[in-house]
């Protein structure tokens, strides 16, 4: 106690910070360098370098949220009795500043935060509310701005293009906002409009992020981190191309019949450009509203089934990950169908990647440990399992087994609402992150989000489904060439 009093606040803060930061065993074993970087940032004003900075973490809501996220993140790295101390603001401020420099990339950070919000046991309940309200906010567009976009994209005002057009957006999208409208031919549509110039912001902010991380770069895994950042950048930029998204949506729609009760909304090509996406409006609600209606177990199971069928069909027939499976992308329709929207963040696998994943799947199902280890090593970009640290191999294996668990479990129904199962998945992911065993093909960034995100939704739904049956049904399409229409 005495020794502590003798220390200055600053050195106490540094100590606490050092304590909780992840350590890079090769170049920064004590975490000193990272701590210095964060302290340096927290003591300076970060210059405004990209446009989106004026929105400095958006609203107060977002700032508070980012702070909680930072707190949560650190608290995962420390033990229980330090949690209280961690609530002190000094490091929250540092983390805020750090996230603040990321401009658009905080969109990616925000998405992670959002994902965490969908893992309700992971984040204390009171934070989850706040976190889930947080999604990347492109600055809101007033109607005058929307009109300008229309004049550029269609040469006409919105009211000339559509029979009717709501001036107020009814939903935010990660890069813009969505308005309801009606076509002259009568269909009710959702019109997604992108905020002008956002692609450049993405590039600028990711460049800043790379620079920011530079001092920590001399690690064996830096190249891997760079590859991942490049992949993230690719994906974010892809999201700015609505024509690409329209094309994904159209392909996905063809996979489902009316009997499937899963629907991907129709795309109206005549009203689509790179910056404007017009799709069929699906009437229904999102997860929160759905759950607030106290649905029966039967109903929850029904939707869990549909969600599994929907995501699996796309996965097996097109070899795609829906890399952003958050609640906003699913519509619980009033007629009992499940709507799947927003294909902006779709990761298509290469044939090579698909083969490896199939290999992993098969090795697991056949309980062939040697084969499983080989596939796992390959996924982590090692030549063989013998090249991996035993702990790394073990921890990664645990993660992969968790992914595959619903395949392996006996019984007709798999209960995604099972808390123990879910928490094991979370712990496994956190352990991998904490120990820095995250090296791997960038593909796994997306596959993890896909699996995790999807299961988190099902967990919140407390839903069960006939997993093995669905798997058999959908993987009957298993072949090396994805089906293209």
Partner 1 sequence: MRISEQAKQETRVRILEKAAELFIDKGFEDSTTRDIALAAGLAAGTMFNYFPSKETMAMTMVNEAFRQGMEDFQRRRTGEEDLTEELFLFIASGLRRLQPLRPFLGPVLERSLSPFPRKTVCQEGEAARAGHLDAVQEIIVRHGFTEAPDYVAMNMYWSLYLGILAYWTNDPSPNQEETRALIDYSLRFFVQVISGVWSDKGETHAG
Interface contacts to partner 1, rule CB under 8 A = 42, 45, 51, 54-56, 59-60, 63, 89-90, 93, 96-97, 139, 141-145, 147-149, 151-152, 167, 195-198, 200, 275
Smallest gap from residue 453 Cβ to partner 1 (A): 30
Q: What is the per-residue burial (b if ≥16 Cβ within 10 Å, else e) of 186-223?
A: eeebbbbbbbbebbebbebbbebbeebeeeeeebebbe
DSSP 24: B
85 versus 479: smaller Cβ distance to partner 1: 85
State which residue, 52 or 75, has the beta carbon closest to partner 1. 52
Q: How far apart are CB 324 and partner 1 at their closest, in Å?
A: 24
Pick the closer one to partner 1 by CB: 40 or 200: 200
| β-sheet bridge partners, residue 176 | 173, 194
**Residue that has been written with the tokens 């981190």 in this structure:** 225
CB closer to partner 1, 166 vs 231: 166
Question: Nearest approach, Cβ of 144 to partner 1 (angstroms)?
Answer: 4
Alpha carbons 261 and 266: distance in angstroms, whole number = 15
228 versus 275: smaller Cβ distance to partner 1: 275
CA distance 238 to 232: 10
- Minimum CB separation of residue 197 from partner 1 in Å reads 4
- Nearest distance, CB of residue 93 and partner 1, angstroms: 4
Contact 105, 209 (CB under 8 A): yes
* The Cα angle at residue 126 between residues 124 and 127, in degrees rounded to 5: 70
- Neighbouring C-alpha atoms within 13 Å toward the C-beta of 384: 2
Instruction: Output the smallest distance, CB 273 to partner 1, in A.
Output: 10
- Give the whole-angstrom CA distance, residue 268 versus residue 33: 53
Q: Closer to partner 1 at the Cβ: 277 or 465?
A: 277
Shortest reach from residue 61's CB to partner 1, in Å: 10
Distance of alpha carbon 191 from alpha carbon 195, whole angstroms: 13
Q: Which is nearer to partner 1, 200 or 469 (CB)?
A: 200
Alpha carbon of residue 378 to chain centroid: 24
């Amino acid at each position: 106690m005495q020794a502590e009093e003798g220390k200055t606040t600053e050195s106490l803060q540094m100590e606490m910070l050092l304590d909780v930061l992840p350590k890079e065993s090769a170049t920064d074993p004590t975490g000193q360098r990272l701590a210095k970087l964060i302290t340096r940032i927290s003591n300076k004003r970060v210059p405004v370098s990209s446009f989106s900075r004026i929105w400095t973490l958006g609203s107060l809501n977002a700032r508070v949220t980012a702070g909680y996220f930072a707190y949560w993140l650190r608290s995962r790295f420390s033990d229980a009795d330090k949690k209280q101390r961690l609530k002190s603001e000094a490091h929250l401020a540092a983390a805020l500043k750090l996230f603040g420099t990321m401009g658009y990339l905080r969109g990616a950070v925000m998405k992670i935060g959002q994902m965490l919000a969908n893992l309700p046991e992971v984040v204390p309940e009171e934070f989850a509310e706040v976190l889930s309200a947080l999604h990347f906010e492109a600055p809101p567009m007033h109607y005058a701005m929307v009109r300008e976009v229309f004049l550029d994209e269609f040469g006409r005002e919105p009211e000339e293009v559509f029979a009717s057009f709501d001036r107020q957006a009814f939903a935010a999208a990660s890069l813009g906002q969505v308005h309801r409208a009606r076509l002259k031919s009568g269909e009710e549509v959702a019109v997604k409009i992108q905020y002008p110039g956002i692609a450049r912001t993405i590039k600028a902010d990711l460049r800043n992020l790379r620079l920011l991380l530079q001092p920590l770069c001399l690690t064996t895994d830096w190249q891997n981190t760079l590859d991942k950042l490049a992949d993230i950048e690719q994906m974010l930029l892809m999201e700015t191309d609505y024509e690409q998204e329209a094309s994904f949506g159209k392909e996905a729609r063809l996979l489902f019949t009316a009997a499937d009760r899963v629907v991907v909304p129709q795309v109206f090509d005549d009203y689509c450009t790179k910056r404007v996406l017009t799709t069929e409006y699906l009437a229904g609600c999102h997860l929160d509203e759905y759950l607030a209606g106290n649905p029966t177990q039967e109903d929850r199971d029904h939707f869990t089934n549909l969600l599994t069928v929907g995501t699996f069909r796309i996965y097996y027939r097109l070899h795609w990950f829906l890399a952003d499976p958050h609640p906003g992308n699913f519509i619980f329709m009033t007629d009992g169908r499940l709507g799947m929207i927003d294909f902006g963040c779709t990761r298509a696998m290469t044939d090579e990647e698909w083969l490896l994943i199939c290999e992993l799947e098969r090795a697991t199902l056949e309980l062939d440990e040697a084969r499983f280890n080989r596939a796992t090593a390959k996924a982590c970009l090692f030549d063989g399992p013998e090249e991996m640290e035993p702990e790394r191999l073990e921890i990664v294996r645990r993660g992969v087994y968790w992914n595959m668990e619903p395949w392996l479990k006996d019984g007709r129904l798999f209960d995604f609402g099972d808390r123990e199962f879910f928490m094991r998945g979370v712990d496994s992911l956190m352990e991998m992150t904490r120990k820095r065993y995250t090296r791997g093909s960038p593909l796994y960034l997306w596959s993890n989000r896909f699996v995790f995100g999807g299961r988190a939704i099902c967990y919140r739904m407390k839903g069960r489904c006939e997993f093995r049956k669905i798997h058999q049904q959908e993987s009957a399409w298993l072949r090396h060439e994805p089906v293209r229409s």
